[in-house]
Amino acid sequence: MRDQRIVEIRNLSKSYQRGGQIVPVLSDITLDIASGEFVALMGPSGSGKSTLLNLIAGIDKPDGGMLRVAGIDIAELSESELADWRAEHVGFIFQFYNLMPVLTAFENVELPLLLTRLTSGERKSHVETALAMVSLSDRMEHYPSELSGGQQQRVAIARAIITDPTILVADEPTGDLDRASAEDILNLMDRLNAELGKTIIMVTHDPNAARRARSLRHLEKGVLTADRS
């Protein structure tokens, strides 16, 4: 399974309309990511790296080209099929954690499980395992506002892996954290990749973060430039 291609991208293009003008963001991208990889997407602001990540994660739609993730042509899916697909295959880690402020750590992690058929007992044990993995078993009943940035991001990671998704996508996961917390998060992601074999795609412009990835892709003005393994 290690060599199976999780992400297959062929001649992908995407443009936005901005003030009546069409601005190309991605042009003719071709990219494969194998199962178990830990890829960092780098590039200057406006290079299209976040757009590419969004497309792979199925929260945005391409204009042209082929986009197959986890064996499914996601460009062809309808809005609600895509939602179900995301629930099954994608775990998200955001720069600003994006936890629901009105839900506790436990409830935040449990949220994606509400989209599955697990019973509440099963959900409970899953959530506890996930929170133990990010070393937050003692903070289950805390609200996000009662947690530090690093802790919140760990809750977010627990939320991302709770459904055992095919890929994890991370958009600047350390962008809002201090050095020590960022290290914690990167170690955690490292472990997820190395020990659990999670495929991770991360957008970052932090060289420290990029260094932890197993491979690196560079984007510039919507085009993939040099690859380095």
Binding site for other proteins (CB under 8 A): 54, 57, 59-60, 79-80, 83-88, 90, 92, 94, 96, 98, 100-103, 107, 111-112, 114-115, 159
d(CA 34, CA 12): 18
Task: List the end-to-end C-alpha distance of the chain, in Å, as a whole number.
Answer: 20
96 or 187: CB nearest other proteins: 96
Beta carbons within 10 angstroms of residue 197's beta carbon: 11
CB of 82 or CB of 210, closer to other proteins? 82
Nearest distance, CB of residue 180 and other proteins, angstroms: 22
In angstroms, give the least distance from the CB of 112 to other proteins.
5
Pick 80 or 229: Cβ nearer other proteins: 80
Contact present, 38 and 193 (Cβ < 8 Å): yes
Cα distance between residue 182 and residue 157, in whole Å: 13
E strands within 19-138? 21-34, 38-42, 64-69, 72-73, 90-93
Q: How far is the CB of 23 from other proteins (least distance, A)?
A: 15
The conformation of residue 116, written as its DSSP 8-state character, comes to: S
- Nearer Cβ to other proteins (2/117): 117
Q: Which is nearer to other proteins, 54 or 129 (CB)?
A: 54
Which of 173, 212 has the CB closer to other proteins? 173
Q: State the Rg of the chain over Cα.
A: 17
Nearest to 52 by CA among 73, 71, 31: 31
CB of 228 to other proteins, least distance (A): 28
CB of 95 to other proteins, least distance (A): 9
Nearest residue (CB) to other proteins, 107 versus 190: 107
Residue 164 contacts residue 4 (beta carbons within 8 Å): no
- Going by their DSSP bridges, the two strands 38-42 and 199-203 should be labelled as parallel
Least Å distance, CB 94 to other proteins, is: 7
Q: Measure the CA–CA gap between 200 and 99, rounded to whole angstroms.
A: 20
Shortest distance, position 12 Cβ to other proteins, whole Å:
16
